Structure 1
Amino acid sequence: MKRQTNELPDHLHDRYELVYIHQGKGVFFIDNAWYEKKQGDLFIIPGNTIHHSLPHNEDPIVSSALYFAPTLLAMDPIDDSYRSLLCFDLARQKGIYRIELTEPLRVVAETALEQIHTELKEHRLGYHEAVKLLSCQLLLQINRHVQSVRRREDPLEPGVGPLWMRQVLRDIDEHPEHENSLARLADKANVSAPHFSRVFRQLTTMNLTQYVNAKRIIRAKELLIRTDQKITDIAEQCGYETVTHFHRVFKALTGVTPHKYRQNQSRI
């Protein structure tokens, strides 16, 4: 059994993820917002996005999750009008990770996920290629649906999380490098430190230090991939006073050193 205290490294990964809800109720904490989960919902989660499931004790969730490396499906398009990962790009840009599927699309998703499961289970000739093709077909239908809707929904759904907590998470998102101490944030939220700590862990399944470190490492990953800055400079930009501390936290959350991570991504 995986304990919540051990979930963070597994939920701060480079893999992309589709989560389809077959039945049950619960809450999904993704990035900095809470989403009510219900039958027929599809969650689109790009890599390096903090996410935790908060189940409903009386009506537990039954779901299917599809994980994959983005390079598996990020093929060069024939033209510039389509990319398989379009829905993930839009989810990250807009900060909206939940789609309520129409009934026809629910049938498509359930059928595709069942076929993928069968291929992975039976290991027949060409099953890797079959899984790839099925995934691309599913993403094509999702992308068409997302493009047809093109409407903004408020990801901070009513009744999930107090307003002061939402503002705290937005502040940390914008400036994870700042000195985000429990005392300072609790004072800013106008609540006591014990109450802040209790509600924060209840709603995110993490303590404040874990959350801030996760957001800092997400930013560090982006800088390591997209720039040629020195690791010492990246450590400072992400709020770490010493490169030793940065190395320790980075390896704890990713399993590799910042230098090794940059090397691996360069090869990809």
Structure 2
Amino acid sequence: MIQPIRKPFFDDPMFPLSLTYKDRKLPQNELPEHLHDRYELVYVHGGKGMFFINQTFYTMEAGDLFVIPGNTVHRAQPDEDEPVTSTALFFSPFLIPPSPHGDEHSGQRLFEEARRNGRYKHPLPENLQACLEEELSGMEAEFTGQKAGYRQAASLILQTLFLQLSRHLAAAASERNAGILVGPPWMRDTLSYLDGHYEDPGISLSLLAGRVPVSAAHFSRVFKQLTGLTVTDYVHAKRIALAKDLLLTTDASVDRIAETCGFASLPHFHRLFRSLVKETPGAYRRNHLPK
């Protein structure tokens, strides 16, 4: 059995890059949801499972790479009989600034296109799998040994990964998204509907269940089973992700942002934001705006 080598998130505040190398994921250990600022790359070494990202379900198999921008709702569901073994890279976006040369193969563009196109999964050819696994092994060795210059070495490996992946994905840009059809059609329709209406103040379980030919109880049970979230938690996660983006990309007031994101009560928005983000909206804006 491969024993995972775990790294704490950003234990070095001056170098916000962490690696969880060859982690064997078990269903009982997976969190019901993820929503964080970190950018994430997940490479699957072996095993099987499902990955729910934004509004799409994906299979997880050996050789798959997942590109996940920050503040994207996602959840892994490892197979009980053949759990996934994967390596995950977590890092702050400032480690991948836009190329000063306008190079289309920058790491920043890799994540921007994933968010814009909703294309998060990329099955890699065998030659690229071998290269990626070698680079990840090299990065793990740098973190473990911590020789002089290991941060610079890890950064260079990260940039090399971005270049290799960007070249491959540019060549495969015409391929369709690798999402698969999971669950009943009404569930896929609901997720698509929610993606365009989660900020509507009137969105609710009863409204969503009323759009489909099943009872509210069955709707709620299937939604939680497939996404790992209740409808309320899913909507809240999407709204808070939007609020975080608006806080950093606009000068709108906090109460205006709360209203835009579908919150009828400003105190409720503050309580929920602080619960999920561990900061108030005002503190998040002050602490995360580019200096």
What interval of TM-score do these two structures reach, taking the shorter chain for normalisation? over 0.9
Distance 1:6 1:60 in 2: 15
Q: 1:6 and 1:36, CA in 2 relative to 1: closer, same or farther beyond 3 A?
A: closer
Residue type matched to 1:100 in 2?
P
| Partner of residue 58 from structure 2, selected from 35, 40, 43 | 35
Q: 1:3 and 1:232, CA in 2 relative to 1: closer, same or farther beyond 3 A?
A: farther
Matched with 1:247 is 270
By how many angstroms is 1:170 displaced?
1.4
Distance 2:60 2:165 in 1: 18
- Deviations along 1:118-140, one digit per CA (max 9) or x if unpaired, are 11111111111111100100110
Distance 1:86 1:125 in 2: 31
Matched with 1:230 is 253
| Partner of residue 82 from structure 2, selected from 59, 81, 88 | 59
Matched with 2:190 is 168
Residue type matched to 2:271 in 1?
R
By how many angstroms is 1:2 displaced?
10
| Partner of residue 129 from structure 1, selected from 136, 143, 152 | 152
Report if aligned partners of 1:20, 1:40 keep a CA contact under 8 Å in 2: yes
Report if aligned partners of 2:190, 2:208 keep a CA contact under 8 Å in 1: yes
By how many angstroms is 1:35 displaced?
0.2
Distance 1:105 1:200 in 2: 36
Matched with 2:22 is none
- % identical equivalent positions: 43
Q: 1:241 and 1:155, CA in 2 relative to 1: closer, same or farther beyond 3 A?
A: farther
By how many angstroms is 1:6 displaced?
5.9
Report if aligned partners of 2:59, 2:179 keep a CA contact under 8 Å in 1: no
Report if aligned partners of 2:105, 2:163 keep a CA contact under 8 Å in 1: no
Residue type matched to 1:98 in 2?
K
Distance 1:172 1:150 in 2: 27
Distance 1:127 1:52 in 2: 31
Report if aligned partners of 1:34, 1:161 keep a CA contact under 8 Å in 2: no
By how many angstroms is 1:89 displaced?
1.3
Is residue 78 of structure 1 aligned with residue 101 of structure 2? yes
Alignment of 1:1-268 (within 5 A): 7-8=32-33, 11-158=34-181, 160-178=182-200, 179-268=202-291
TM-score between both structures, scaled by the size of structure 2:
0.87
Report if aligned partners of 1:45, 1:91 keep a CA contact under 8 Å in 2: yes
Distance 2:115 2:89 in 1: 18
Report if aligned partners of 1:33, 1:155 keep a CA contact under 8 Å in 2: no
Report if aligned partners of 2:43, 2:87 keep a CA contact under 8 Å in 1: yes
Q: 1:84 and 1:267, CA in 2 relative to 1: closer, same or farther beyond 3 A?
A: closer
Matched with 2:4 is none
Distance 1:251 1:7 in 2: 19
By how many angstroms is 1:4 displaced?
7.5
Partner SS, residue 211 of structure 2? helix
Q: 1:90 and 1:219, CA in 2 relative to 1: closer, same or farther beyond 3 A?
A: same
Structure 2: any 5+ residue segments left out of the alignment? 1-25
Distance 2:224 2:185 in 1: 16
By how many angstroms is 1:74 displaced?
1.4
Alignment size in residue pairs: 265
Residue type matched to 1:181 in 2?
S
Structure 1: any 5+ residue segments left out of the alignment? none
Aligned alpha-carbon RMSD (Å): 1.8
- Deviations along 1:18-50, one digit per CA (max 9) or x if unpaired, are 000000000000011000111100000000001
By how many angstroms is 1:156 displaced?
3.9
TM-score between both structures, scaled by the size of structure 1:
0.94
Report if aligned partners of 2:51, 2:58 keep a CA contact under 8 Å in 1: yes
By how many angstroms is 1:79 displaced?
3.6
